[in-house]
């Protein structure tokens, strides 16, 4: 019968493996920096796990990661990832880890050629009986494409040196089943960052997480709160990091973790190809979202931006379109303004409408030929391929400094302005003759720190509605 080891509990980061930018060689110095950064808030580290891109590392490299880990961990446990698709290779890795002095070997379910249940059992059995070191099983169906069968786990738990299982599936039904069958004999660790709290509440004894090198202190707090029964406080903590955890789990894995660490001043280099730093599983938009979430957590400084909502007589606000208050009067253009929302969710919309044959038509067309750096005009749509009428351009008044700011415009503001316009069509506010004859341009001002897409969308719809009502009111305002 196995005996639970006292140390296999708490928070373990699944360390990324840093690489040099040009050569893709392991960057040992960066690895040391990373471990030193994480060490105060963790109970041990895991080398060459999935987050550490283990399938892209050679046997020598993996051994080296264990050695560096042991040198830097100051006596805290070092769990060596020893995953491979063949038993022969996994065993060699485990022997290396044993020789180096690792605390345990973390062995992933054998992958790619889909061995049978018997084959999976034999894999773990062969390794566990050939080495004299603790073994941790590892279920991660997202990459292995199959679950480590519970019945196999049940039998493997009988081996004396199998001390735990890491479950990265995020499937709580599976976690609970494992706890039910083997929880009294081996430790179960959660490996899915999005479900740490429920897994802890369900009885797991710790966690091996990608995000535990970004915010290990948050996980320590969650662990403390749960162990002292403060569930609602623990929930609040988990929720603070829910979106980042989701991004790490589903939108880029180790690549996203490296992006976050870089923003925090720790450059771990690129992933190995074919993975790409950005543009692959981690898209630009998501990377911008990581920045925002790290700002919220206080991990990186919040970038401020001084700005003002457009002020003064409404007729004077359309200078970007080269339209003066006199032009507006002379050509019978109609203008309206609306604002809505509080604090960073306050949105102002200054709207101008008129016939395509007026200078507004020229301004509209010119905007379409003028890719303003960071202030690109967008056609207003409900969704792609549902362009509203009268045709309306959305022009941000503030430069979009990063993709996250652009994300508030492209999507939330664009579709909400579209809804405000179609609301007006539905209410009969827009004269039938104007639908093909006219165009509109909406100058949209959104706070540079706005982050809540829903709140922005609601503000835009409300502000847009007010502006449209002014434009099409029977006594519609003109420029002066």
Partner 1 sequence: MGYKTEWFKGIFPALVTPFFANGGVDEKAYRALIQFVLPNVDGVVPCGTTGEFSYMTLEERKRATEICIDEVEGRVPVVVGTGCPTTRDTVELTAWARDAGADGALVVAPYFLKPSFNEVYEHFRALDDVGLPIVMYNIPQCAGTHFRWWTAEGGLLDFENTIGIKDSSGDLPFMEAMFEKVKGKVSIFVGHDEVVQAALGAGADGAILASANLIPDIWQKVRRATLEGDLTTAQTWQQKVQKLVRIVVRCGSTQACKEGLCMMGVDVGDSRHPIVPGGAFRREDREELRLQLEALGKINRRPVTYDLGEKQVVTDLFATHHTPETVENWTMKVGEGFAGPPFQELAHVDLLIGLKDGPVGRAIDRSLAEWGEERGLRVLEGRPATLVVPTVTIRTDKQRRLFERAAAGVRLAIELSIEDGFLPEPILDDIALIVNAFVHPAASIAKRVEFNNYKAARHAIRKAVEGRPTVEELIAEKAAARHPFRYAP
Q: E strands of 181-282, at which residues?
A: 187-190, 206-209
Out of 58, 373, 474, 475, name the contact with partner 1 by CB under 8 A: 373
Which helix (H) or strand (E) is 46 found in, with range? strand 45-47
Q: Considering only the stretches 91-99, 213-221, 384-392, 461-469, report the one whose residues sit in contact with partner 1 under the rule CB under 8 A.
A: 384-392
Q: Considering only the stretches 113-121, 210-218, 294-302, 366-374, report the one whose residues sit in contact with partner 1 under the rule CB under 8 A.
A: 366-374
Handedness of CA 174, 180, 183, 185 (dihedral sign): negative
Residue 346: active-site member:
no
Query: Measured from the CB atom, is 138 or 364 closer to partner 1?
Result: 364
Q: How far is the CB of 376 from partner 1 (least distance, A)?
A: 6
Q: How far is the CB of 331 from partner 1 (least distance, A)?
A: 13
44, two tokens: 């041990």
Of 124, 138, 215, 364, the catalytic one is 138
Out of 6, 75, 384, 474, name the contact with partner 1 by CB under 8 A: 384
Q: Does 283 bind partner 1 (CB under 8 A)?
A: yes
The Cα–Cα gap between 111 and 4 comes to 27
Q: How far is the CB of 26 from partner 1 (least distance, A)?
A: 26
The Cα–Cα gap between 69 and 76 comes to 9
Query: Measured from the CB atom, is 81 or 390 closer to partner 1?
Result: 390
Q: How far is the CB of 378 from partner 1 (least distance, A)?
A: 8
Q: How many residues bind partner 1 (CB under 8 A)?
A: 56
310, two tokens: 């457009």
Query: Measured from the CB atom, is 173 or 385 closer to partner 1?
Result: 385
* Pair 285, 407: CB distance under 8 Å: yes
Q: Does 365 bind partner 1 (CB under 8 A)?
A: yes
Out of 143, 305, 386, 473, name the contact with partner 1 by CB under 8 A: 386
Contacts with 323 (C-beta within 8 Å, 6 or more apart), sequence order = 333, 352, 359, 360, 363
Query: Measured from the CB atom, is 3 or 366 closer to partner 1?
Result: 366
Annotate each residue in 340-359 with x if it binds partner 1 (CB under 8 A) or - if it does not, as one string: ----------------xx--
Out of 264, 381, 429, 458, name the contact with partner 1 by CB under 8 A: 381
Contacts with 22 (C-beta within 8 Å, 6 or more apart), sequence order = none
Q: How far is the CB of 199 from partner 1 (least distance, A)?
A: 23
Q: Does 305 bind partner 1 (CB under 8 A)?
A: no
Q: Is the peptide bond before 390 cis (omega within 30 degrees of 0)?
A: yes
The Cα–Cα gap between 171 and 216 comes to 22
Of 63, 166, 258, 299, the catalytic one is 166
Query: Measured from the CB atom, is 121 or 318 closer to partner 1?
Result: 318
Q: Considering only the stretches 74-82, 164-172, 278-286, 461-469, report the one whose residues sit in contact with partner 1 under the rule CB under 8 A.
A: 278-286
Q: How far is the CB of 459 from partner 1 (least distance, A)?
A: 14
* Pair 400, 374: CB distance under 8 Å: yes
Which of 420, 471, 409 lies closest to 446, judged by CA?
Answer: 409
Residue 166: active-site member:
yes
Handedness of CA 421, 424, 425, 426 (dihedral sign): positive
Q: How far is the CB of 368 from partner 1 (least distance, A)?
A: 5
The Cα–Cα gap between 367 and 349 comes to 18
Q: How far is the CB of 130 from partner 1 (least distance, A)?
A: 40
368, two tokens: 């379409």
Q: Does 370 bind partner 1 (CB under 8 A)?
A: yes
Query: Measured from the CB atom, is 92 or 429 closer to partner 1?
Result: 429
Write the CA distances from 336 to 360, 426, 429, integer angstroms. Answer: 15, 19, 14
Q: How far is the CB of 330 from partner 1 (least distance, A)?
A: 17
145, two tokens: 């494409």
Looking at beta carbons, which pairs linking 310-319 to residues 24 or more positions away fall under 8 Å? 310/348, 310/350, 310/397, 310/443, 310/445, 313/479, 313/480, 314/350, 314/477, 314/479, 315/478, 315/479, 315/480, 317/350, 317/443, 318/350, 318/352, 318/441, 318/443
Straight-line distance from the first to the last Cα atom of the chain, in angstroms, rounded to the nearest whole number: 88
User: Which residues in 238-277 contact partner 1 (CB under 8 A)?
Assistant: 243, 246-247, 251
The Cα–Cα gap between 249 and 55 comes to 18
Annotate each residue in 411-450 with x if it binds partner 1 (CB under 8 A) or - if it does not, as one string: xx-xx--xx--xx-xx--------xxx-x-----------
- Which residues are near partner 1 by CB under 8 A? 243, 246-247, 251, 278-280, 283-286, 289, 356-357, 361-362, 364-366, 368-371, 373-374, 376, 378-379, 381-389, 391, 407, 410-412, 414-415, 418-419, 422-423, 425-426, 435-437, 439, 453, 457
Q: Active-site residue numbers?
A: 138, 166
């Amino acid at each position: 019968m196995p005996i639970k080891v006292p140390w296999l509990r708490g928070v373990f980061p699944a360390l990324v493996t840093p690489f040099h930018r040009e050569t893709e060689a392991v960057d040992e110095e960066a690895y040391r920096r990373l471990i030193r950064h994480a060490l105060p808030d963790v109970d041990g580290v895991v080398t060459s796990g999935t987050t550490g891109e283990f399938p892209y590392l050679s046997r020598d490299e993996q051994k080296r990661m264990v050695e560096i880990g042991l040198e830097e961990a100051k006596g805290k446990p070092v769990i060596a990832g020893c995953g491979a698709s063949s038993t022969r290779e996994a065993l060699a890795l485990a022997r290396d880890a044993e020789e180096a002095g690792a605390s345990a070997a973390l062995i992933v379910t054998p992958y790619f050629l889909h061995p049978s249940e018997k084959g999976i059992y034999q894999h773990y059995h062969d390794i566990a009986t050939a080495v004299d070191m603790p073994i941790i099983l590892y279920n991660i169906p997202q990459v292995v494409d199959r679950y480590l069968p519970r019945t196999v786990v049940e039998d493997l738990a009988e081996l004396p040196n199998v001390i735990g299982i890491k479950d990265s599936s995020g499937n709580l039904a599976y976690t609970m089943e494992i706890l039910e069958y083997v929880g009294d004999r081996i430790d179960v660790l959660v490996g899915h960052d999005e479900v740490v709290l429920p897994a802890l509440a369900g009885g797991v004894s710790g966690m091996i997480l990608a995000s535990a090198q970004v915010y290990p202190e948050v996980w320590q707090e969650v662990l403390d709160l749960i162990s002292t029964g403060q569930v609602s406080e623990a929930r609040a903590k988990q929720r603070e990091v829910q979106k980042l955890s989701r991004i790490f789990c589903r939108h880029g894995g180790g690549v996203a973790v490296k992006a976050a660490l870089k923003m925090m001043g720790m450059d771990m280099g690129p992933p190995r190809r074919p993975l790409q730093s950005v543009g692959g599983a981690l898209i630009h938009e998501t990377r911008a979202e990581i920045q925002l979430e790290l700002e919220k957590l206080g991990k990186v400084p919040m970038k401020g931006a001084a700005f003002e909502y457009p002020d003064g007589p409404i007729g004077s606000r359309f200078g970007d379109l080269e339209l003066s208050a006199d032009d507006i009067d002379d050509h019978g253009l109609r203008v309206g303004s609306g604002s809505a929302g509080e604090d960073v969710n306050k949105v102002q919309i200054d709207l101008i409408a008129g016939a395509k044959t007026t200078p507004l038509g020229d301004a509209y067309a010119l905007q379409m030929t003028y890719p303003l750096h960071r202030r690109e005009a967008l056609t207003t749509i409900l969704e792609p391929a549902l362009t509203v009428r009268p045709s309306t351009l959305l022009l941000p008044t503030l430069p979009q400094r990063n993709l996250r700011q652009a994300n508030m415009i492209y999507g939330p503001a664009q579709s909400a302005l579209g809804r405000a316009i179609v609301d007006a069509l539905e209410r009969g506010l827009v004269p039938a003759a104007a639908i093909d004859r006219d165009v509109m341009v909406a100058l949209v001002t959104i706070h540079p720190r706005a982050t809540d897409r829903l709140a922005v969308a609601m503000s835009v719809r409300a502000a847009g509605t007010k502006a449209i009502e002014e434009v099409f009111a029977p006594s519609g305002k003109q420029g002066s």
